Amino acid sequence: MNVSPPSTQAVNKDVPTESKQDVVAYIVSQDLVKVSSLLPSNVKRSYVVHSLVQCLGLLQNTISDNEEHETPLHDGNPRSSLTRRRRIQVKAPVVATDADLLAYHDADFLACILRGARTSPSSGRTENPGDASQFGLEDDCEPFYGLPAYVRMVAGASITAARCLSSGEAVTAICWDGGRHHARKSQASGFCYVADCVLAILHLRKAPRKPRIFYLDLDLHFGDAVSEAFLNSSQVLTLSVHHAAPGFFPANELAQLTEADTANPFSVSIPLQAGASAATFKEIWPSIEAIREAFDPEFVVVQCGADGLAGDPCKVWNWSLFGEGSMSWCFDRIVNRWNCKTLLLGGGVCLIFNFRHPATQHAGGYHSANAARAWATITSIALLEPILPERDIPDHAAFPLYGPSFTFDVPGGNMRDENSSEYVQRIKEQMFSLASRIANIRESE
Q: Give the number of domains in the chain.
A: 1
Query: Does a structural domain hold residue 89?
Result: no
pLDDT at 103: 97
Q: Tell whether pTM > 0.85.
A: yes
Query: Does a structural domain hold residue 193?
Result: yes
Which residue range forms the structural domain that includes residue 187? Answer: 23-61+95-116+130-353+360-444
Query: Does a structural domain hold residue 16?
Result: no
pLDDT at 5: 46
Query: Does a structural domain hold residue 79?
Result: no
pLDDT at 112: 92
CATH of residue 187's domain is 3.40.800.20
pLDDT 10s digits, 173-213: 999 999 999 999 999 999 899 999 999 999 999 999 999 99
CA–CA dist 382, 22 (Å, integer): 10
pLDDT at 102: 97
pLDDT 10s digits, 13-25: 344 444 566 899 9
Query: Does a structural domain hold residue 52?
Result: yes
Query: Does a structural domain hold residue 331?
Result: yes
Question: How buried is residue 204: exposed, middle or buried, by Cβ count under 10 Å (0-12/13-18/19+)?
Answer: buried
Query: Does a structural domain hold residue 121?
Result: no
pLDDT 10s digits, 209-257: 999 999 999 999 999 999 999 998 999 999 999 999 999 999 899 999 9
Residue 285 belongs to what H/E stretch? helix 278-295
Report whether pLDDT(302) > 90. Answer: yes
b (16+ CB within 10 A) / e for 301-324: bbbbbbbbbbbbebebbbbbbbbe
